[in-house]
Amino acid sequence: MTAIHQAVADPSAMNGHETTAPKPHRTKEREKRRSWLLTVGIWVTLIYFVVPLLWLAVSSTKDNGDLFTTFGLGPGHSFQFFHNVAQLFSFQDGIYSRWLINTLIYSLGGALGATLLATMCGYALAKYKFRGSRVVFNAILVSIMVPLTALAIPTYLLFAATNLTDSPWAVILPSLVSPFGVYLMRVYAADAVDDSLLEAARIDGAGEFRIFTTIVLRLLGPGIVTVLLFQLVATWNNYFLPLIMLNNPNLFPVTVGLAQWQSTAAAGGGAQVLFSTVLTGSFVSVIPLMIAFVFLQRYWRSGLATGGVKG
């Protein structure tokens, strides 16, 4: 009976093996080491992204002389931010304001259109079975690997043949295509939209368009916001496509306009005073993106995994 009780108390004793519990202090040391490495990695990443923005903010408060005589992250001899902003919006008859409006139109038009198309296409690929769907999805995956600069010249030739160059459509229409957005929405819709919910809506007599607008769009909210921000930032920072498509300075976005001012300042000839104006314009152009991220971040708090049907 004693042997039986020992075997019940310690099953490994019947096999002749002794169980050794893991030492708690070794596990704690391993977790501390992993936590320390992750913390260092996060701080390095944070510094990598924040320092250029901090340098840009500090540089926008300096005049042109302080830009070349003071340390990059150090303050200038006087606070010139408001003077630089006034000079920025008055230079060349205030064309910078026009560039900001153009950028806003291009970005919002391209981002909203691309998000709508990506949502519809991703939902269709995820929830509808039709011939050639796998081929279409594989073609989208392949197109993600193609760099946008490789498509710029063919896109220009296509738009030139249809007389659409040097117009806002030359920037907005190419921005409506987002293969990565389609891929993201296809993956997200596959888990966020439950098939049983769609079947229940169809049994109740709801049409496909009504199901999409009243049910699917609500479930895909976090994914839609993600695609919208990605496309908004991509269009806002787009430089090469507007550069080859537009010739009229009144149609330039901020990226192309500031690049021309930078080229003029680098050429010298008394135009080096533009350096402070270019840096201030760069900092001002970043502020709308910051506002967009702050305003839309609440849609991410529930996480991209939310929106699915709970059993």
What's the Cα-to-Cα distance from 285 to each of 252, 254, 270, 273, rounded to whole Å? Answer: 14, 7, 25, 19
Kindly report the CATH class assigned to 82-300.
mainly alpha
Side-chain-side CA neighbours of 55 within 13 Å: the count stands at 10
Residue 166, by phi and psi: left (phi above 0), alpha (psi -120 to 50) or beta?
Answer: left
The reply to whether the predicted model has a pTM over 0.85 is no
pLDDT for 37? 83
**pLDDT (tens digit, 0 to 9) for every residue of the chain, 311 residues total?**
444 444 444 444 444 444 455 555 666 666 666 678 888 888 898 888 888 888 888 888 888 777 777 777 777 778 888 988 998 998 888 899 999 999 999 999 999 999 999 999 999 999 998 888 889 999 998 988 888 888 888 899 999 999 999 999 999 999 999 999 999 999 999 988 888 989 999 998 888 899 999 999 988 988 898 899 989 999 999 999 999 999 999 999 999 999 988 888 777 655 556 788 888 999 999 999 888 888 877 766 554 444 444 43
- Cα separation, 153 vs 156, whole angstroms: 5
Mark 49-71 as b/e (b = at least 16 C-beta within 10 Å): eeeeeeeeebbbbbbbebeeeee
- Cα separation, 305 vs 148, whole angstroms: 30
